[in-house]
Structure 1
Amino acid sequence: MRLPEPLARLPRPQLIGAVRGMGHGSVASVLKIALDAAYVLLALITLVALIALVVFLFLPVDNWTVSNEEGGVQQALTRPLILFGLGVLCAWFGGFLLILRQLRQIFRTLTLGDPFQPENVRRLRQIGATLAIVTAGVWIAQSVVAARLAPGVLDRQGVGALLTPIFSVMVVFVLAEVFREGARLRRESELTI
């Protein structure tokens, strides 16, 4: 089997590092760099949303309206509605900022080649809990906006919209248990040597 041209030119140690899953020069280290960039970008977006929230506390809001996609139903944009929306956005971005922070720490252990640490079990559980809270918060916020703040402008989400996020939360908790078992096996193997 012939290697692709960019990989064929690499010296043998770099080639091994380029295709392995853990350690320096691995896929995990590339993903760690992408997570770092996403974390910085999301932190900036969260900061902008927080600044907008503060600005709209003092900005006069007069004669602003929003309508649904068909243009039939119009809703006045009041200060409470705008502040509620910006507050929900800040909470949503902040939740995912917490998730990215934990993911970055997990990928740091992957880059070091030592993923089965008890701290990673705690981190995965925190990711699952944060994802569950963010999902429930978005669902509740959209229901409140659709029912009370902007009826007819925004459709209510059904329970079916929660199936994929609930499945994702369960997968994260199962991964936490896999990491817990891996940490336990690692601890047992260290004791037998």
Structure 2
Amino acid sequence: MRLPTPRNPFKRRPARAPRWIDAVAAPVRALGPGSVSIVLKVALDAAYVLLWLITGLLLLLLIAAIFIPLDNVNITVSGQSGGRQLPLTRLLLLFGLGAATAYFGGFMLILRSLRRIFRTLTMGDPFHPANVRRLRQIGLTLAVVTGGVWLAQGFVAARLAPGVMDPQGLGELLTPIFSVLIVFVLAEVFREGARLRRESELTI
């Protein structure tokens, strides 16, 4: 007959992590209903609406600038070397408002494609065939916006405010170009994922 082992009152039980630590350490869902992609999509929706309002307002100002009288109106262009007053001509006003409208409109198009991509993520379908086209559209739009900003700043520095605003150098384009290349690489990754999914569906 085996007697029960007496319990040692001085023996410490292994510590157990609190429940809130288990909740934090639990893996966060990235796809599907109840995932973090839903939160990101809501943020993208809010940013898209804000950019839509800003672009619409700038477009209205651009149309109104055709008829606004500009007699004896000056603007101050400031840069690293100081400031300079320039007469506000209609061409300068239309150029500034047009550049701002195109800038915000370009990012609005980028957010529209991102919203559609995150819509597929919330459905748990990241490798939707349309996401490849959307990513390519994002990369192309980002490249156009980056090139437009570079050309516009160079035009302002050379024609409108020489000696006040410095044009962007080629070195400042490295980060945007790298971002554009990353987007196109992601598009190829999604294309390969969509191809593998299609092959697996055909196999089944």
Query: TM-score scaled by structure 1?
Result: 0.89
Once the 2 structures are TM-superposed, how far is the Cα of residue 68 of structure 1 from its aligned partner? 1.8
Q: Any runs of at least 4 consecutive aligned residues in structure 1 with deviations exceeding 3 A, and if so which?
A: 1-5, 69-72
3-state SS of the aligned residue for 1:65?
strand
Q: Quote the Cα distance in structure 1 between the aligned partners of 2:110 and 2:53.
A: 15
> Could you tell me which amino acid in structure 2 is paired with residue 141 of structure 1?
A
Pair 1:48-2:52 in alignment:
no
Which of 43, 46, 68 matches 2:78? 68
Structure number with higher helix proportion? 1
Deviations 1:21-67, CA, capped at 9 Å, x for gaps: 00111111110000000000000000111111112111112231213
Once the 2 structures are TM-superposed, how far is the Cα of residue 144 of structure 1 from its aligned partner? 0.8
Which of 19, 29, 47 matches 1:38? 47
Verify the 8 A CA contact 2:127 2:191 in the aligned structure 1: yes
Once the 2 structures are TM-superposed, how far is the Cα of residue 149 of structure 1 from its aligned partner? 2.0
Counterpart position of 2:186: 175
Question: How high is the sequence identity, in percent, across the aligned residues?
Answer: 66
Counterpart position of 1:154: 165
Between the two proteins, the alignment pairs up a number of residues equal to: 185
3-state SS of the aligned residue for 2:65?
helix
Counterpart position of 2:14: none
Which structure has the greater CA radius of gyration?
2
3-state SS of the aligned residue for 1:57?
coil
Gaps of 5+ in 2: 1-16
Pair 1:139-2:139 in alignment:
no
Q: Quote the Cα distance in structure 1 between the aligned partners of 2:113 and 2:131.
A: 9
Verify the 8 A CA contact 1:73 1:153 in the aligned structure 2: yes
Which of 19, 29, 49 matches 1:20? 29
Q: Quote the Cα distance in structure 2 between the aligned partners of 1:184 and 1:55.
A: 50
Deviations 1:151-179, CA, capped at 9 Å, x for gaps: 22321110111111000000000000000
Q: Quote the Cα distance in structure 2 between the aligned partners of 1:66 and 1:3.
A: 60
Gaps of 5+ in 1: 9-15
Once the 2 structures are TM-superposed, how far is the Cα of residue 73 of structure 1 from its aligned partner? 2.9
Counterpart position of 1:11: none
Q: Quote the Cα distance in structure 2 between the aligned partners of 1:2 and 1:27.
A: 24
Pair 1:87-2:85 in alignment:
no
User: Cα RMSD between the aligned structures?
Assistant: 1.9
Query: TM-score scaled by structure 2?
Result: 0.84
